[in-house]
With several copies, the nearest count.
Chain A
């Protein structure tokens, strides 16, 4: 069903857990299938210097989350905003068609995290 890369990311997920000193947290969830993801980012000079995740979901959801953290670590926020769910699935070497929707939360959580970070910055800038 899943290819080796997916299985590897599911079995040995990278960057699991919360980041106690995160600059922002992005959350997303599918009401329908119940999957939930939290993405923590640490930002320095507009660049993601650290990232971690927590995911409730199936194998595809967990592997996608893990893969996403690998993709975005070190990217600038603008670069990271360009990352799509499709990119994640591609980097994983593909997912079964029925499972594609399970990978949809990873990029969403990332974009939510970045949005939160920017909002915080704005507030801080104004304040």
Chain B
């Protein structure tokens, strides 16, 4: 249909890279044993799973006993929040932010309905949380603080070390949803003083449907699911063997490449931002510096996100939007509302998320195509700038 294909939706998901698929392949047809089996077909697979655990741990600076494989970021988040609530006696208090992913936010809302109290901390117009608001929110009943490492829509990074220090001082469990950060930026568990960290393989060129949970040694939560007792009972069910092998390999590779990748991505990102802001009435969403190296989020005034995505798609450009219509809901994203965007600016937001494989040429191509798309849609729009 179009000459070029430019994938700029790495925040949604990423392709599995060659080396990762290669590592996974033997575990479908050849090494297919159940890791719980006594025989050698099972034992060879058990060894492979434990090696994957060691690799994952070492990429995160954790020990293997602190890594639990799950079916993805959503499950990791749910296990931590529900598990901590289940472990807590009676009803308690949870601190989180207003801009968490639904896999944290909606769990908290559910727990609130069930009787727990939840503080959804506000963020500033860049999406940053003020650590002092965390400390102020703490009550004697607070049993968990859950703050995402970086926002999936606007890319804003949170001051995790400061928050971790506060949580540690008050001896409260600290969880971070690091799904957008792992594999993109260095993660220092010690410095951040986190007790739990969620990650999802398909965000760093690993397979979909597999994730992990880091649980600091000694911290206890109650399991939600019951079954064969796999993953230290925290996540029972026959292991997704090719998945965990793929996760470990993808993590290993992407963490190795971080030092080199950060600079490349950041300079592509900044070039794209600069170019987009040259278009009339475009605003940058999120923090100008404290943002994911691959995240660009802008609002095109007077036009609507889904319409922009469709038009970009015709040009071979894949991006995403926090617009209501792109998700089938009626409200624009809670994140864009939380940073104070009016309805229309929120509806015009588009996220270009860069990743492995994006090049300078991709940026040039996008910057060539976007102005015409915006212009065309603005011509259709009844809304006019007042100036």
Chain A positions within 8 Å of B, measured between CB atoms, are 1-2, 7, 10-11, 13, 16-17, 27, 32-38, 54-62, 96, 98-99, 101-102
Contacts and interface: CB of A to CB of B under 8 A. Distances in A.
A14 to B, nearest CB: 11
Contacts of B310: 2, 7, 10, 58-59
A127 B368 CA distance: 56
Interface string B13-33: 000000000000000000000
B323 interface: yes
Contacts of B140: none
A33 B379 CA distance: 20
Given A17-B379, A56-B383, A62-B380, A35 B314 contact: no
B324 A34 contact: yes
9 residue pairs, one from A and one from B, having the closest CB atoms: A58-B325, A54-B382, A98-B328, A58-B306, A38-B382, A59-B310, A56-B381, A32-B330, A34-B343
A2 B46 CA distance: 13
A56 B302 CA distance: 7
B347 interface: yes
Contacts of A33: 324-325, 330-331, 347
A101 B344 CA distance: 18
A42 to B, nearest CB: 18
Contacts, number: 75
Contacts of B304: 34-35, 56-58, 61
A58 B307 contact: yes
A48 B258 CA distance: 63
A57 to B, nearest CB: 5
Nearest to A32: B330
Nearest to A98: B328
Contact of B38 (A1, A11, A34, A62): A1
B50 to A, nearest CB: 11
Contacts of B343: 34
B34 to A, nearest CB: 13
B268 interface: no
Which of A16, A33, A38, A60 gathers most chain B CB within 10 Å?
A33
Which of B304, B323, B347 gathers most chain A CB within 10 Å?
B304
